[in-house]
Amino acid sequence: MKGETVEKESVGKRWKTKNGSITIVDDLCKECGLCIEFCPIQVLGRSEHFNEKGYHYPEMLAPEKCVNCGYCQLLCPDFAIWSERDDKQEGERDE
């Protein structure tokens, strides 16, 4: 499938947060738990479900509390989670 792009939403689960979004690709996770253990706001938790590899992947427990610090993304050795910030303030417009 050379040259084909895939939308992030079709690859993983995406949660809208106050400042952007968090995306988790379940099947890339190998359940190291770093994102859950070291989240400074403690908004991630272990899913009850298994991915294709047989691991419990993280899921967002409180997206409304997430500040999109990006720490989970930095810690993940498998690139299974990433943070996207929307730095626009309410009322701002594109120019």
Q: What is the pLDDT of residues 30-80, one digit of tens each?
A: 999 999 999 999 999 999 999 999 999 999 999 999 999 999 999 999 999
Q: Which domains does the chain have, with CATH numbers?
A: 14-83 (3.30.70.20)
Contact 63, 43 (CB under 8 A): yes
Kindly indicate the confidence band of residue 10, based on its pLDDT and cuts at 50, 70 and 90: low
Report pLDDT digits (tens) over 68-80: 999 999 999 999 9
Measured over the CA atoms of residue 9, residue 24, residue 65 and residue 63, the dihedral's sign is positive
Query: d(Cα 14, Cα 10) in Å, to the nearest integer?
Result: 9
Question: How confident is the model over 67-95, as a mean pLDDT?
Answer: 82
Residue 89 has pLDDT above 90, yes or no: no
pTM of the model: 0.76
